[in-house]
Structure 1
């Protein structure tokens, strides 16, 4: 056989930037790129000396640092087992006396490494970074061969996390060589306080005893300090405290980093490391006379607007294709007005954490879970890996919390259902001895890092043991159900309560916070791919009603392979929440403002025309930016009268904005229109510069009793229910939303018989106008083949096919993808108008489609709506109709399907209207 040698130097390097910008030396070599690769299904590589038989030709090429399962690896095989990597290269340090280290960002799961046929080390664990010194085995000026053997068999004891979306088998983070002097700095930990105190602990590995100078230079040398230290041979720990006058504090709004370098110099030369720190403090504090704590950043309460991030990319899986992709992830979060992210059941890549530090977003970082029983082997593996994670990521100012376990995964003994258990099964499968081990891990993490919040278990089974933060998960759809649930949780949260605890444990005064919420799991069979905008607005509003609640984690940041409830699609494209249709300029970020106006009312109410409705308001403040100021609450009640925006009321009131937390404001009294309408109460909080701080809204279905519509220029109308058609010829046709909406797939028409008033009632009909609400009709697999529900178990959470088009709740939320159609209007066979229908949208604008959903946990084309279509009948044809007083009306789709909305569906409270005068 011939040797397979790659000319990797001529190829572009993927992920060329330094993998660990928080600890970076200048002399290093990136080893990302093409390596030789072979699977070893029969485990014969060691016996046949693949590590030293350089004549053996590996079968494939793989692109490091991408998991061999991912498309970007060039392999794209979900092979569970053994993989071998090989690369041959030259590299020589500038100083021949330096030490050389081979470093790995992460390898899943266990690996062995050889240099030039000599075994240099082993490592176990899929998420931590590790290194091997290879100095004595590396030959300068000659080709050196690196061989890596990786095993990944998904053992029950492995900390795997939630890899079902895309496995991270093999090397999945960057690999690099690094040169250091004989005596070098292993790491430094920074602990800061907001008065400017910076406490540093540096571990130094010394080749021999002697003295050295330790120098730090930060903020363009404005912080400069040198200290002489004595070293012993081996590992040394050196502590140093400095004080910064008038420190610039790190926060999501002002993510200032003290960037610079550490130097260790002596007879061995100089070791220089570029690094950074942020000055900030995370605490939990009682304010005023409250019997509970809030989370504080830099001594002030912070309301945590957060999202769950699976950190999954469609081509790299859990490895981002580029540094720009990681940066853009943080940008996309901040664009939504979020100030924190929970990295779900895995530590984040250090490079992405760097962008969280640099751009400013707080991070709650989970430890990855194992899925088997919590036996001794699983515990030992977990502890080793958790230590690597905390040690590596300790210095990121963005990280404010460590989460040791999630939803009791890996903590139940011989439990079949990992997620949903009865109270009895939960008590018996989450053993008391395991609970005590979890308590031990909580205290262990607190000893390792007393500067951060530590959570024992982020629970969906109300099973805390001991924690710095009292969080819980819920997935509930429906306003009444959600409101009732939050009221109960808040009422049962107080020191000494056994709610949300297990094993006889009780609550402390720890802050109450939600750590997972949404409606993806709160709907029978899962939400499929459906609108989340309607639910999201009232959920945010309900959270802010409660003074005791200090934040949330929405599931999730992006769609993933079988959960479609992200703010963004998996490819990062936008979804359209539609809020600006209610309050001009409103975006989702208005719901994340630290200063917020709560409208203490349902998202939509059915009311009678001319009713006066009392609307309670609350203010929620988790910022002191406007404290002591008088702000303005401006509001208006408006409605869309068939394309004309009508403002029924418009007022403002001055409010004294002072103090943290939630407090009552004066209520509003709004007078409803005197006709059928979808009325909107739009509220804005304005500062003294006339700038909008936040916006909010609710809606009303106003009913007059006779479906009256007021037309400009007068006229009467005939209302025809959309399902009162005389015929249709669509191949596929069905009703939705209790027959208030009808759908036809593909090409076809709906035909109606229209009878105008006779001559006794209306002597002459001079003008006829036809109005209706229509959308295109995207046909799903369930419309053709019938619905199929998913089993809501472990497989689905591990990434199993969601059958989204078969899901009975699916109706795609409005996004950048369009499915247009065209509807032609024919009267007596003559086309009088044609309307382009850009899409079949579903978002918060589908007020009536949401309001008239019969069940909260089953969705029937919820949030869907159409476009207002109005066409006048030409004069000659109108004259004919004046004589005959009846005609055939056809609404004909050219091929993209047709959805027609009646009085109780869509955006407009109308049936098919025939206006005449």
Structure 2
């Protein structure tokens, strides 16, 4: 075979890596990079022979493989319609036994391809991969013109998924040439068992009848098998079974891949394909006397800690800029302790699925939906595309589930016109005949791939028909509301229950799992951009309280353009959840541990100083790593006393850790501090090496009462409510959290009049210290222009501008971006202190700002908190104050503004505090 035809420099080519590492031939040429491009708004290109007329000027250049809408394409125009691509490639001699294929990762939505003016094929469907045999049209030793006409009109029947963040119009996955012998392997499927049996089914396209030899070798030739074949002209199916000795099983914790190659040889030459497989089994099973199933991996229960991935990048949209970006996506998920991702309303790029295989994360892959009525045309286009996707992605060990439909999108009929596009409709009814079609698609997928879990419809309307997994969606804010909802769902889930099913269908014993959750939509007008750390911890805790639940999918992995509920910002930068300030060493990964301590109590309780509190505990185990081991539960009740960390109580106890699922542990009986405090109960599960397996916490608002010391330490205290200022001069000023917090934007000051005890009550005042909690104040658009509520319709779901700074619930969660300020403390005009305020933060550390939210589905600067500031009055000034006993206190903010937190806001239970002695 002549191979120089496919020799190319790859360093300057975008996305130069092989697009399909699960099926890779050595002889290939990447065609990504600069192509000539031209829009065709009047559909004149076909009549004007744009595919063959060299006089036609393509007036732009586009960078393939990026959608013409995305910035990385160089076009950056969100224009529906038709786009033409042209590329010239030098062709060298190809011998008579070589076939040349032009391959496309994906083109949205329909396309036609010409080589040297000759039409070589058409394709419809925006997500599937496809190819054309271009051997008869390829010219040796001269330039070859490749022309692609792509058409995308967002038709109601086309499966397009959720593209509103940035459309994938035209070519949006790599394009490449590939050389093969005339007889070649079309594809192969691997079906594995944990006992080491691997069944391989290979489709072979034979040019003519004859004999051949088929060889597979993997894991550095430790797995080798050769088979003699007799081929007939046309399509041949070769089935064989091998036994892998001492199989190394694939899992998220140990993602071992058997990498190697398949080889077909004969008189036609040799066809070699590099590929891989992972040995693993996905099933569902009952354990002990339960009447419900759990999901199992390799025969053992697995708790699925998952996230919803919109797979959106701000510059490439749904095409990742680099291979490193795709690899890093999986890394960032695993860094959080996640072991699963749901790719939302779209199949993923095969290259990213490779990294899921390689680094180890389970994938729930959605089929893209259409948005019109489920008529014959929509059904046919969906079925064709779903088949392409499942066939292409079949061998990825990371994929454990196919989701055929999402939230009944595209399944409802009798529509009203909506504002998305002229022919996309807002639907209203899920007909019985459509339900039966969904059942048919579920069963079809099960027959096509019996090795995976298949879901009919991932529902938000309780409308399952038939499914291997019983999932549901919810977006609910507020601990009590969330707890009540989960209790109801779990109680109504049992074999034969009509709950979560439609039209007389009933539940089986299928595993119960949440497939979408979060507080992004659980708040009136949307959550905007707000703290998710507080809600997230108690939601994880409540999930693990239920033995019947075996996983969740949190919305979402990254922020996107209209949803800011991500673990990370859109650019991948970190958010600060603040858990480590409650339990040393704790991160969000502690909430995703397969072994977990459930604290069966609210996230914060109001209690009295010195009160005894009983705290119930559960152990939840979805791994057998520590079964039969001697584990300890270590606990500490601590609080911050004006900047000093104080342990009120601590202890440890041995715990039995023997079984999968939930076990009741002994309760903790704790006594609250004898003063005002925001107290934290921190618990850790400790292994025999003294290492923390998992950590958790709850909090208490300890009220001191009239007969209790406010704070420990020498001296007496005066508390002044932060809202009791006598004057301010901020241009923009407002109160929050029921008046417990005051805000001033930009430069300005708050002025207070402080009256010390008179001489009759306190003969001499020798020392005075002023303490308060303060942060910078980030000015949002709503503070200047007013609130603007979003319409929560489909346009917002599809990525319409969320107007986040106008959202009344927005208070930016703490992240890598800082908004600092400085506050100066003046007493009677003398500056006695100056404090740098690093940020205007909001996360789980804002205990009181969360605890005193009056309405669960409306947020008022929730989770916001500040920094403890302590300024001592110098002796000479103190002497003056000892004489006068009244002074003017000014808290002056520089450009970054000032927020002051009172007793029921922030992280410290104090107002403006004057300590004297």
TM over 0.5: yes
Greater mean alpha carbon deviation, residues 465-474 or residues 701-710: 701-710
Contact 2:821 2:894 in 1 (8 A): yes
Which residue of structure 2 lines up, in the alignment, with residue 231 of structure 1?
231
Matched, 1:522 2:522: yes
Q: Per the alignment, do residues 889 and 273 of structure 1 end up closer, same or farther by CA in structure 2, a change over 3 Å counting? A: same
> Secondary structure of 1:429's match?
coil
Which residue of structure 1 lines up, in the alignment, with residue 108 of structure 2?
108
Contact 1:347 1:367 in 2 (8 A): yes
Q: Per the alignment, do residues 279 and 913 of structure 1 end up closer, same or farther by CA in structure 2, a change over 3 Å counting? A: same
Which residue of structure 1 lines up, in the alignment, with residue 573 of structure 2?
573
Contact 1:138 1:144 in 2 (8 A): yes
Alpha-carbon separation, structure 2, partners of 1:399 and 1:712: 57
Map 1:812-831 onto structure 2 (within 5 A).
812-831=812-831
Return the offset for 1:457.
Answer: 0.1
Alpha-carbon separation, structure 2, partners of 1:399 and 1:895: 51
Alpha-carbon separation, structure 1, partners of 2:522 and 2:808: 14
Which residue of structure 2 lines up, in the alignment, with residue 554 of structure 1?
554
Which residue of structure 2 lines up, in the alignment, with residue 50 of structure 1?
50
Which residue of structure 2 lines up, in the alignment, with residue 422 of structure 1?
none
Map 1:220-619 onto structure 2 (within 5 A).
220-416=220-416, 429-619=429-619
> Secondary structure of 2:435's match?
helix
Q: Per the alignment, do residues 512 and 11 of structure 1 end up closer, same or farther by CA in structure 2, a change over 3 Å counting? A: closer
Which residue of structure 2 lines up, in the alignment, with residue 863 of structure 1?
863
Return the offset for 1:141.
Answer: 1.4
Contact 1:35 1:62 in 2 (8 A): yes
Q: Per the alignment, do residues 418 and 435 of structure 1 end up closer, same or farther by CA in structure 2, a change over 3 Å counting? A: farther
Q: Per the alignment, do residues 891 and 373 of structure 1 end up closer, same or farther by CA in structure 2, a change over 3 Å counting? A: same
Which residue of structure 1 lines up, in the alignment, with residue 3 of structure 2?
none
Contact 1:676 1:707 in 2 (8 A): no
What does the per-residue CA deviation read over 1:218-272, in whole Å, with 9 as the maximum and x for residues that have no partner? Answer: 0000111111011000000010000011100000000000000000000000000
Structure 1 unaligned segments of length 5 or more: list them.
Answer: 1-7, 420-425
Contact 2:766 2:878 in 1 (8 A): yes
Which residue of structure 2 lines up, in the alignment, with residue 174 of structure 1?
174
Matched, 1:878 2:878: yes
Which residue of structure 2 lines up, in the alignment, with residue 763 of structure 1?
763
Matched, 1:132 2:132: yes
Which residue of structure 1 lines up, in the alignment, with residue 151 of structure 2?
151
Matched, 1:117 2:97: no
Matched, 1:727 2:693: no
Return the offset for 1:94.
Answer: 6.5
Return the offset for 1:416.
Answer: 4.5
Which residue of structure 2 lines up, in the alignment, with residue 807 of structure 1?
807
What does the per-residue CA deviation read over 1:72-97, in whole Å, with 9 as the maximum and x for residues that have no partner? Answer: 00000001000000000113367553
Alpha-carbon separation, structure 2, partners of 1:711 and 1:479: 30
Return the offset for 1:10.
Answer: 9.8
Return the offset for 1:894.
Answer: 1.2
Alpha-carbon separation, structure 2, partners of 1:92 and 1:549: 60
Contact 1:417 1:793 in 2 (8 A): no
Alpha-carbon separation, structure 2, partners of 1:195 and 1:230: 30
Return the offset for 1:901.
Answer: 0.1
Alpha-carbon separation, structure 1, partners of 2:509 and 2:94: 57
Which residue of structure 2 lines up, in the alignment, with residue 634 of structure 1?
634
Return the offset for 1:891.
Answer: 0.3
What does the per-residue CA deviation read over 1:465-513, in whole Å, with 9 as the maximum and x for residues that have no partner? Answer: 0000000000000000000000000000000000000011000000000
Contact 2:745 2:897 in 1 (8 A): yes
Alpha-carbon separation, structure 1, partners of 2:256 and 2:456: 30
Which residue of structure 1 lines up, in the alignment, with residue 423 of structure 2?
none
Return the offset for 1:414.
Answer: 2.2
Contact 2:414 2:428 in 1 (8 A): no
Alpha-carbon separation, structure 1, partners of 2:247 and 2:777: 58
Alpha-carbon separation, structure 2, partners of 1:93 and 1:150: 30
Alpha-carbon separation, structure 2, partners of 1:59 and 1:707: 83
Return the offset for 1:11.
Answer: 8.3
Which residue of structure 2 lines up, in the alignment, with residue 4 of structure 1?
none
> Secondary structure of 2:388's match?
helix
Q: Per the alignment, do residues 831 and 291 of structure 1 end up closer, same or farther by CA in structure 2, a change over 3 Å counting? A: same
Return the offset for 1:54.
Answer: 1.6
Alpha-carbon separation, structure 1, partners of 2:822 and 2:93: 68
Map 1:630-669 onto structure 2 (within 5 A).
630-669=630-669
Return the offset for 1:630.
Answer: 1.8
Alpha-carbon separation, structure 2, partners of 1:872 and 1:255: 58
Q: Per the alignment, do residues 355 and 242 of structure 1 end up closer, same or farther by CA in structure 2, a change over 3 Å counting? A: same
Contact 1:27 1:179 in 2 (8 A): yes
Return the offset for 1:713.
Answer: 5.0
Contact 2:609 2:708 in 1 (8 A): no
Alpha-carbon separation, structure 2, partners of 1:105 and 1:305: 30
Contact 2:676 2:711 in 1 (8 A): no
Which residue of structure 2 lines up, in the alignment, with residue 212 of structure 1?
212
What does the per-residue CA deviation read over 1:499-555, in whole Å, with 9 as the maximum and x for residues that have no partner? Answer: 000011000000000000000000000000000000000000000000000000000
Return the offset for 1:415.
Answer: 4.0
> Secondary structure of 2:630's match?
strand
Which residue of structure 2 lines up, in the alignment, with residue 12 of structure 1?
12
Which residue of structure 1 lines up, in the alignment, with residue 794 of structure 2?
794
The root-mean-square deviation of aligned C-alpha atoms, in Å, is 1.5
> Secondary structure of 2:801's match?
coil
Alpha-carbon separation, structure 2, partners of 1:492 and 1:648: 42
Return the offset for 1:140.
Answer: 1.5
Return the offset for 1:593.
Answer: 0.1
Alpha-carbon separation, structure 2, partners of 1:561 and 1:651: 47
Contact 1:633 1:653 in 2 (8 A): yes
What does the per-residue CA deviation read over 1:596-634, in whole Å, with 9 as the maximum and x for residues that have no partner? Answer: 000000000000000000000000000000001120000
> Secondary structure of 1:844's match?
coil
Structure 2 unaligned segments of length 5 or more: list them.
Answer: 1-7, 420-425
Return the offset for 1:55.
Answer: 2.3
Which residue of structure 2 lines up, in the alignment, with residue 5 of structure 1?
none
Which residue of structure 2 lines up, in the alignment, with residue 202 of structure 1?
202
Which residue of structure 2 lines up, in the alignment, with residue 3 of structure 1?
none
- TM-score with structure 2 length normalisation? 0.98
> Secondary structure of 1:435's match?
helix
Q: Per the alignment, do residues 717 and 418 of structure 1 end up closer, same or farther by CA in structure 2, a change over 3 Å counting? A: farther
